[in-house]
Amino acid sequence: MYDPKKIRNIAIIAHIDHGKTTLLDSLLKQSNIFRDNEKIPERVMDSYDQERERGITIFAKHTCVYYKDFKINIIDTPGHADFSGEVERVLGMVNSVLLLIDAQEGPMPQTRFVLSQALKMGLRPILVLNKIDRPHAAPDRVLDLAFDLFLELGANDEQLDFSYIYASGFNGFAIEKLTDEPKDLSPLFELILTAAPPPPGNLELPFLMQAATLGYDDYTGRQATGRILEGKIRKGDPLVCVDRHGKQTTHRVTKLEGHLGLKKIEIEDAGAGDIVSLSGIPEVDIGDSLCAPENVVQLPPITLAEPTVSIEFVVNTSPFVGRDGKHVTMNKLRERLMREKRANISLKIEEVEGRDDAIRVCGRGELHLAVLIETMRREGYEMAISKPKVITKQVDGATHEPVERVHIEVPEEFSGTVIDDLSRRKGEMRSLATSEHGLTTMSFIVPTRGLMGYRNDFLTRTSGLGILTSIFESFVPWKGDIAGRLRGVMISNSPGKANGYGLFNLQERGALFVKPGDEVYEGMIVGEHARDNDIVVNATKAKQLTNIRAAGSDENIILTPPRKFTLEQAIDYIADDELVEVTPNFIRLRKTFLNEIDRKRNSR
Ligand SMILES: Nc1nc2c(ncn2[C@@H]2O[C@H](COP(=O)(O)OP(=O)(O)O)[C@@H](O)[C@H]2O)c(=O)[nH]1
Ligand SMILES: [Mg+2]
C-alpha cells in the first residue's frame, strides 16, 4: 500500500495528434517497464483495433510507472472532439494534468476544450510544449498563446502560475530551458513530482471511492475503476454500493487490481489516493459510490456534457439480410445497445416513439457513433443506419441548435472555396490569417448540421491538404434551412448482379458505387446522379445476345472504378430518405423505402 504523499495521478490531455500517446511510449520506456530487447509497437497504448487502424486514441487508458520511490498513475486520453466524454470522465480521477501543445501548431480547438474542463475541475495543468524538434516549432510563441488561452478560459491565479517544460515525446527528452542539453525525460518526471499535487485522502478514515470507468473481467465479471478517496481496501473486505438513485447493496471485494505498465496486476490492498479496479459488484454503474459499511455516503453523480447528434439503428430489412451477419433481430440490437449504454455514458440510447424496429443513439459526433457501429459490425451485427440528426433544444420556446467552433488550415489557394462552402452552410467566420509559408488559418462558428456531409467534400475540395477540426461551442437559435446534398442518386429498379453493359450506360449519368458482379437489389443506391434528382436505373441490364455478338464482349467496356465508402463517409453521404445498410463485410446505400409497396406498407 502506498503512502498518498508518494502517489501522483495525472492525465495527459491535448488536441488530437499533439503527441500524448507517443510521449507515453517514452515515459513507459524510460521507466524500465519493458525488457531491453522487447519489441514495443509505436503508440503502444492505442491497443484497440480501430485505434490502430485509424491512428487515433478512442478510449482513455490507464498505466502506472514508478519513478524514484514515487508511484505515478497516468491516464492517456483521446484528443478527438467526438470522444471528449472520455476526457471529462477521467479528469475526476486525477489530481493534475499534463497539457500538451504541439510547439509548431499551437493551441487548437480541442486544446481549448480539454483545458477548460481541467480548469473547471480546479486542476492546475502542467504545460508541455511538445514536438520542439519540428522544423517550424516556435515554443516561446506557443507559450504566450497558451498563457492567453489560460487567461481567456478564466484560470485563477494559482492555475495561471502554471509550470511548463519543453519536450519531444518522439525523441524521448524534456528540457526546462531551450538552451539545456536534451538527454531524457527525467526533467519531466521531476516536474510531475514537484508540480503535481499528491492526492488528498486519509488512510485512517473509512473506505470511500466512486466508480469512474467500468471494465469487464472474464472471471470476476464487471469491474469498477476509480480513485480511492479515503481509507483502505483489501480483497475480501465488505462494502456498500450506493447507486445514483440512492439504492444501497452490500458486497465483498472479490478482486483488486492496479496497473503496471501495460498490464493489470492483482494487488492485496490499496489506500487513499491510488487508482484501482475493484471486482465483486455485478451491477455497479459509472458514478456509483463504494463505501465502507460503517460510513455509507452518496457522492455527487458524474455528469457529462449533452450529446449533440443522434442516429437511428434500424433493423436491416434489405433482401440480403442475414447473409453476412449473425445478429440481425431488433432484440439483439437492443440488448447490445443497452449493454453499451452501461459502459459508454457519453452515449444516450432511447426508444423511437411509435417504432419497434428502431432505436435512437445519441452521441458527440459522427465519428463517436461510427466507432460503435464499426465495433458492432465486427461482432457480427447487421443493421441499417439513418442520416445523423442534430439534437436541438427549446430555449424560451425557440428551437436552438448546436454550433461548433471550426478551425481550418489550408494552403492559401483553397481558402476562397472553403469560405464559400462554409458560408453556404450558415458558417460565420471569426478569424483569418495567412502565414509567410502560404498557409491560411481560419476559424468559423458553424451549425453542427452544416458540417454534416462536409468533411468528405472538404478533403476532396482541398486535395487532401486541408485540416478541419471542430468542437462543440454552444446552442444558438435555429439558423434556418441548409441545402443538403446537391446531387440525386441512381436507384436500382431490380435485383440481380450488376453487369458491365448495364453500368457502362449508367456511368455517363454519374459516378458509380458498384462494379460488375456486385449483387444489387431493388431500392439499392448504385450511383450518384450528376443532376439534383434521383433516377431509377437498371444496373443488371444485359446486352441482347445475337448469334454474332458473343457473351464475353463486355470486357471491351471501360468502366471508371466505383466509388467506395468508408462507414463514416456513407453516414455522411446519405440524405434523409436513405439508409446505410451495415453488415460485417458490406456497406450498401439504399432508399428507406425499397419500392412503392414497401413505402405503402411502412410509411409512417
Ligand atoms: N516531430 C514529432 N512528431 C511527434 C512527436 N510526438 C508525436 N509525434 C507524431 O505525431 C503524431 C501523433 O502522435 P500521437 O502520439 O498519436 O498523438 P495523440 O493523438 O496526441 O495521442 C504521430 O505521427 C507521432 O509520430 C514529437 O515529439 N515530435
Ligand atoms: Mg493518442
CA distance 171 to 21: 13
pLDDT in tens, 498-526: 999 889 989 999 999 999 999 999 999 99
pLDDT in tens, 357-375: 999 999 988 888 999 999 9
Q: What is the pLDDT of residue 214?
A: 87
Neighbours of 545 (CB within 10 A): 10
In angstroms, the first-to-last Cα distance of the chain is 61
Give helix 454-461 / helix 415-424 axis angle, nearest 10°.
160
pLDDT in tens, 415-465: 999 999 999 999 999 899 988 878 898 999 999 999 888 877 888 888 888
**Model confidence band, residue 604 (pLDDT cutoffs 50, 70, 90):** low
CA distance 524 to 496: 11
3-state secondary structure of 62: strand
Q: Decide: 26 in ligand 1 pocket, CB within 6 A.
A: no
CA distance 51 to 61: 12
Least confident of 128-137, 240-249, 338-347: 338-347
**Model confidence band, residue 281 (pLDDT cutoffs 50, 70, 90):** very high
Neighbours of 460 (CB within 10 A): 9
Q: Is the pLDDT reported for residue 339 higher than 90?
A: no
Residues bordering ligand 2, an ion, CB closer than 5 Å: 20-21, 57
Neighbours of 52 (CB within 10 A): 13
Give the number of whichever ligand sits closest to the CA of residue 55.
1
Q: What is the pLDDT of residue 462?
A: 86
Q: What is the pTM of this model?
A: 0.85
**Model confidence band, residue 596 (pLDDT cutoffs 50, 70, 90):** confident
Q: What is the pLDDT of residue 482?
A: 87
Q: Is the pLDDT reported for residue 549 higher than 70?
A: no
Q: Is the pLDDT reported for residue 380 higher than 60?
A: yes
Give the number of whichever ligand sits closest to the CA of residue 46.
2
Mean predicted confidence (pLDDT) in 401-407: 91
Q: Which residue has a Cα nearest atom 18 of ligand 1?
A: 17
Q: Decide: 43 in ligand 1 pocket, CB within 6 A.
A: yes
Q: Which residues of 379-388 are buried (b: 16+ CB within 10 A; e: fewer)?
A: eebbbbbbbb
Least confident of 29-33, 481-485, 594-598: 594-598
- Map 165-225 to HEC letters: EEEECCCCEEECCCCCCCCCCHHHHHHHHHHCCCCCCCCCCCCEEECCEEEEECCCEEEEE
What are phi and psi for residue 75, nearest 5 degrees? -115, 120
Say which residue the cell 434521383 belongs to: 534
**Model confidence band, residue 554 (pLDDT cutoffs 50, 70, 90):** low
CA distance 218 to 254: 13
Q: Which residue has a Cα nearest atom 11 of ligand 1?
A: 17
> Residue 524 gets which letter from DSSP?
B
Q: Compare 552 and 182 and report the one with higher pLDDT.
A: 182
Mean predicted confidence (pLDDT) in 588-604: 78
- What would the grid cell of residue 272 be? 487513499
pLDDT in tens, 88-115: 889 999 999 999 999 999 998 889 889 9
- What would the grid cell of residue 258 be? 492496479
Neighbours of 222 (CB within 10 A): 18
Tell me what the pLDDT averaged over the chain comes to.
91
Q: Which domains, ranges and CATH numbers included, belong to the chain?
A: 4-195 (3.40.50.300), 208-291 (2.40.30.10), 309-390 (3.30.70.870), 393-477 (3.30.70.240), 489-564+592-603 (2.40.50.250)
Q: Is the pLDDT reported for residue 162 higher than 80?
A: yes
Best probe residue, ligand 1, of 52, 108, 170 (max atoms within 8 Å of C-beta): 170
Best probe residue, ligand 1, of 13, 15, 17, 50 (max atoms within 8 Å of C-beta): 17
**Model confidence band, residue 552 (pLDDT cutoffs 50, 70, 90):** low
Q: Decide: 130 in ligand 1 pocket, CB within 6 A.
A: yes
Strand pairing report for 248-252 and 208-210: unpaired
In 83-123, the DSSP E strands lie at: 96-102
Q: Is the pLDDT reported for residue 290 higher than 90?
A: yes
Calculate how far, in angstroms, residue 101's C-alpha sits from the geometric centre of ligand 1: 11
Give the number of whichever ligand sits closest to the CA of residue 132.
1
Q: Decide: 54 in ligand 1 pocket, CB within 6 A.
A: no
